[in-house]
Amino acid sequence: MGLGTQLKLPFIDFTNLDQNTKTNHWNLTKSQVHRALEEFGCFEATLSDIQPELHTSVFDSLQELFDLPLQTKLKNRSIKPFHGYLGQYPMVPLFESMGIDVAPNPDKAESFTKILWPEGNPKFSKTIQEIYEKLSKLDQMVRIMVLESLGLEKYMDEHMDSTNYLLRVMKYKGPETKDTKLGVDSHTDKNLVTILHQNEVDGLEVQTKSGDWIKVQLSPNSFVVMIGDSFYAWTNGRLHSPYHRVMMSGDNARYSIGLFSIPKAGYVVKAPQEVVDDEHPLIFKPFDHFEFLQFYYTEAGQRAPYALKAYCGV
């Protein structure tokens, strides 16, 4: 398989869109979203209300966060998978990450801040809260568009109420070489929708259905919107959940922030009957996302070529 440097993700402009006003602009954007998620499983998005000052503040805050002593960062603990501090892994020595559980109460950004800065850090918590609000609005628009495109509007309230949000902040150290080094290995996300925002250091690569790799190059005011395995399962394969990885070179660190919409514990991910037919037979049995993640971290889950299929494939 080749490295498709000439390939690019679809670009979709969400400027002046309102989910409560379904104009021709909304319908055109909805069609673009549906096509992109069918073919690539992701796209590059831009939002007009993300000001350069917020972009700068986000990544200044992330640098301040990851510059804290390791013992301080280890205070970011959680029994939930991916919600606590991750790092110090020999297989991916460039990577470390922290989780900010913003659901169901976004004021938890302040609680997270107080754990790491007992004396407080108002600028950090304000920045995290503001970027959360922007990204969650984009996530909701994307998921509404998907359901409308598939004719599943009657499930809208249930679907939108079935999720929580997690913010993950990530740092990939520059390997200090021109040779390319692994930041994070190839994987699919396990949640519903992921929205990624990064500083000016590239590294994200997305695999196409044909096996080529797209080197993603983003502008400061754009984002990657990506489908995870749970949405792939809920739509019964009508969307694509792409493999992606991070590859690093050079001296500069890559900082990124991701909003993950995640099915609530106890909610059963089950494909609606409208997306199951003779041409699209059921791919997965109904499953609880939290229980699936518990399987994913077992030896069997880690060995499986595709963990969700091993867990509940038909």
Residue extents of the structural domains in the chain:
11-268
Binning the chain into helix, strand and coil, the percentages to the nearest 5 are 35, 25, 40
With b for 16 or more beta-carbon neighbours within 10 A and e for fewer, the 231-265 pattern comes to bbbbbbbbbbbbbbbbbbbbeebbbbbbbbbbbee
Q: Quick one: pLDDT at residue 103?
A: 64
pTM: 0.94
Output the pLDDT for position 51: 82
Q: Which CATH class is domain 11-268?
A: mainly beta
**Closest-CA residue to 193 (of 165, 168, 154):** 165
Give the model's pLDDT for residue 106.
64
pLDDT of residue 4: 42
Q: Which two tokens stand for residue 181?
A: 């080094």
pLDDT in tens, 20-79: 777 899 999 999 999 999 999 999 999 877 888 999 999 999 999 999 999 999 999 988
Q: Identify the DSSP state of 296.
A: H
What per-residue confidence (pLDDT) applies to 59? Answer: 95
The upper half-sphere exposure of residue 33, i.e. CA atoms within 13 Å in the direction of its Cβ, equals: 28
| pLDDT in the model for residue 6 | 67
Beta bridge partners, 284, equal 313
Which among 312, 143, 132, 130 is positioned nearest to 226, based on CA atoms? 143
Instruction: Point out the residues of the chain with pLDDT beneath 70.
Output: 1-6, 103-106
